[in-house]
């Protein structure tokens, strides 16, 4: 793993999931890469968890929480983020770069669970539909959507996928409707 980072691969997998979900890389000062993860203010425990996880990942670096109208941006600077996340500031958006979950995460169920938890806490939801618990993940990045389906399948779940096209942009909704409570418990998913 990368020098200066916490050595916990489970923590890395979780942060990668958060970043692939609602994360963004930039280099506003021209010196260091900033990872910014955006969270809705209605999830104060998640905001605290993201901040604590980034602090644990980079204990020597400052983690900031910037208030916005309905959300907060949790950010940290490090020139190691591009290597960890496997996408580059200079190459544009995650969509343009067709980001994927790193292979090392997909190789072990323990890392898959952490990454899925991060992805679903940022770009997912848990909800009731006619009395049944459902889990959703939504992305406009086809490579990421396929990785999520593959990881869910590897854990023994059978998600379904719907593709919606609007304004020449495809949006993928991946849903677990069967054994969803078991899935929630297995990956320790919560969103508060």
pLDDT averaged per 10 residues, the chain (length 192): 64 96 91 94 96 95 95 95 90 89 97 98 93 94 96 97 90 96 96 89
CATH fold, domain 105-186, is Endonuclease I-creI (3.10.28)
Q: What is the pLDDT of residue 2?
A: 45
Res 29: pLDDT: 83
Both tokens assigned to 63: 């983690």
The pLDDT value given to residue 5: 53
Q: What pTM value is reported for the model?
A: 0.93
Is CATH 3.90.550.10 the right assignment for the domain spanning 9-101? no
Region(s) of the chain under CATH 3.10.28.10: 9-101, 105-186
């Amino acid at each position: 793993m990368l020098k200066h980072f916490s050595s916990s691969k489970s923590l890395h997998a979780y942060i990668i999931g958060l970043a692939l979900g609602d994360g963004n890389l930039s280099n506003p000062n021209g010196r260091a890469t900033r990872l910014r993860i955006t969270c809705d203010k209605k999830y104060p425990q998640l905001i605290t968890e993201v901040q604590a996880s980034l602090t644990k990942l980079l204990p020597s670096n400052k983690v900031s929480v910037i208030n916005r109208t309905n959300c907060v941006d949790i950010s940290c600077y490090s020139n190691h983020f591009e290597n960890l996340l496997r996408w580059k500031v200079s190459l544009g958006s995650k969509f343009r770069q067709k980001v994927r979950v790193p292979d090392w995460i997909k190789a072990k169920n323990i890392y898959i669970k952490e990454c899925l938890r991060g992805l679903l806490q940022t770009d997912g939801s848990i909800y009731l539909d006619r009395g049944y618990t459902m889990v959703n993940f939504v992305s406009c990045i086809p490579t990421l959507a396929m990785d999520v389906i593959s990881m869910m399948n590897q854990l023994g779940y059978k998600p379904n996928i719907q593709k919606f096209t609007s304004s020449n942009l495809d949006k993928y909704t991946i849903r677990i409707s069967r054994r969803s409570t078991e899935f929630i418990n297995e990956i320790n998913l919560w969103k508060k």
